Structure 1
Amino acid sequence: MKFILVLMLSLALAYGIYYFMNMAGAKKQRKEPGVPLVELTKVSKKKFEDRIEAIGTANARESINVTASVTEFVDKIQFKEGERVEKDKLLVSLEQTAELAELAEIRLLMEDEAREYKIARKLYDKKVVSQTEFDKQSYELRAAQARLDAVEARIKKRRITAPFSGFTGIRQVSPGTLITAGTIITTLDDLSVIKLSFTVPETFIAALRRGMTVEAGCAAYPDKKFSGKISIVDSRVDPETRAVTVQAEFENPSYLIKPGMLMNIEIISNPRESISIPEKALLSYGEKHFVYVVGKDMTAKKRMIVIGFRNFGNIEVKSGLKEGEMIVTEGLDKVNNEQPVRTSSEAGATKS
């Protein structure tokens, strides 16, 4: 009987020890999932640059409406629509038959007057003719020269040439048309350089300077970026819009940009290396921004930071973090301040 009692007590003690060990293990298992599994990223530096965005309209470096300065019939069209012409290329000839006839007549008169002047000069030098007679002949020569200059000027007005190299537009007149002064014949645009005018809020004036790089894109070439330089920043701010007008120039060797195009503009300034964090690591509450920093003790501590520019999934940190610190980038929704955390590598080590 005594033996049976001792046996029962031994079994009860063994069961108690077994139950206690199992409960402790269960508590440990329940506790372990309470330590959130997170992913950490080391804080590093990346390149950043400020970008000011605007919208502008493209203009040719030089652009005019080619017009007549006299009323006359169109004789010949000397250009093709859309072609590139050089400076002084004859574009249109107006009727000038009468002027050419008058020019021939005056040239003959000039020859006679020049010959008479030479004779008068010799006679005057020999004291054969008086000063008055010589002056009269000199006047006749100058008068003939003036008539010649006048008719040549009239002919020049009837020969319309390109004042600069560029591309002609659509022709607005035909041979035989009677045009008046100011009638538009075509357009002429120098597309070798494009001027882009746009406005920038006055808050960015301090960042603008001549020679700064400007990038522009347009709907016509969605995959292409054009690079230019700021050529001038206006000396005045518009008091109504509180914006300043800026002009940039773009080399246009392939003539892809056309006058009138709407361009999306980015001004690039202040290139620098700054502390950077992935955008997914940031917690924002209104105007305040935080990250969870994890030290060697694997405890997540909530820290306020000051952020700057955002660039392709990365955020510039102006203050609050140091290069090399570890921050939480995955599992943020499971983390609280001053809470221990674990990474996937630690979880794997625990299981093994």
Structure 2
Amino acid sequence: MDRYDKMGGDFDMHAGGFSELIGNEQIKEHFLHAISSGKVSHCYVISGEDGLGKMTAAKAFAQTLECQAEPANRPCGVCHSCTQFLSGNHPDVIFPGHEKPTVIGVDDVRTQIIGDIQIKPYCSPYKIYIVDEAQKLSVQAQNALLKTIEEPPAYGIILLLTTNAASMLETILSRSIVLNMKPVESEAFTSYMREKGVDEDKIPTLEKFSQGNIGKGLKLAQSDDFISMIQTIMLLLKTASKMPFSELLESIAKLEEYKLSIKDCFGFMQMWYRDILIFKATRDPNLLIFAEEYSAINKVAQTCGYNEINRILEAINTASARLDANVNFQLTLELLWLTIRECQK
């Protein structure tokens, strides 16, 4: 598991602390200033899509706060606190879980946070709760948590990691420090991928698809099917409108081998049609993500109207929702590509 994985398990922080967080300098500076000035909030909401480093930031903050070294050397990576933290066994850094996959209920919060936070830290100055997937907190769970956030013990800190801060109650947000994670710049993305040993010729495609999301980029780099899948999708995007119907169905059938990753491709397709939409409106090739595909994008932009492009984008969202609802894979993909074919005639 990589340090940019959203899960709270294995984590190799070494002694680097916030140096392990790529990009997001403002968030690093905020946390470091809070630590050095002693003005640490009792609740933080760290928001951003999966893969941007929310967990990395939260863990760096927790390790640094609990480190026993002199302030200038934190986190040292070798003190008793850091050793416990790096082994995943720090008694005062807690990762609350939840039994139901789609919701964090009020009982989860009462048992693992509200009741537990009243017990003083075992061996550290702070007791820190890192709540992943906080967008799954039910309204009842958030309301139950509110009193603890309003009147926390001096040692209590809660970090709520969410892909959607708008899902949190305004009463929670107004009493928290809200930090928004951002994608990294192209140079940082490329450097990180090289550091991880990703093939140089794959990096440009990974960067386009992940849009500066390091976690997503690394996940796709580790997928043997990714490049092949993208090449197949790209060929279909360019030729579906002219391809004989029987051949189109054969190509769609081949996509079944990428069944577990096909939803990642929907994002790729949305970027493609986003380029077409923007180019149709501006005629500016400098705004294209797929600049090297200018000729193909220009051709579709000339023959496809705004309504048709928006219809295709809606069809991609519908296909994604159908797969979530376990609608037949082949049928879902056929309906999607038939819509694309019809709109691009």
Indicate the TM-score class for this superposition, using the shorter chain for normalisation: under 0.3
Select the structure of larger CA radius of gyration.
Answer: 1
TM-score normalized by the length of structure 2: 0.17
**TM norm structure 1:** 0.17
Pick the structure with more strand per residue: 1
Whose relative contact order is higher, 1 or 2, with alpha carbons under 8 Å and at least 6 apart?
1
Larger helix share, 1 or 2:
2
